[in-house]
Amino acid sequence: MIVMPITGYLGTYRDAEYLGITKFGDTSLFAWVAATVDTTWEEFEIRLDFVYREFLGSKLLWMLISIHVGAALFHHFYRRDGVLTRMLPGRSAEAEQTAD
């Protein structure tokens, strides 16, 4: 969940003025990366967009969602600890504890 915003910032050539962050392409860190890898901004952006959109955006995000759904079902059907029912609106933790 932290990697997505970071790679999104690294892959765009826009200011994040609301956060007080300048464009990544104008930073000294990118200058060092460009000199080390011998790349231009356009080539760097193409590679990072592949990681951001093709890998993180499609595969990793869906994998995390699947794991969360699986964990909720595990708690509900196997452990029967009431985690899933406590997430429902209108239910409080105190009401769940007093019912047990």
Contact 41, 25 (CB under 8 A): yes
Q: What is the pLDDT of residues 52-67, one digit of tens each?
A: 777 777 777 788 889 9
Q: What is the pLDDT of residues 65-75, one digit of tens each?
A: 899 999 988 98
**3-class DSSP state for residue 99?**
helix
21 DSSP β-pair partners:
16
Q: What rounded mean pLDDT belongs to the chain?
A: 78
Q: What is the pLDDT of residues 76-91, one digit of tens each?
A: 899 988 888 887 787 6
Tokens 């860190």 belong to 29
Q: Tokens at residue 35, please?
A: 């000199």
Q: Tokens at residue 59, please?
A: 């595969």
* Mean pLDDT within 86-100: 65
Angle at 43 between CA 41 and CA 48, to 5 degrees: 90
* Mean pLDDT within 1-8: 68
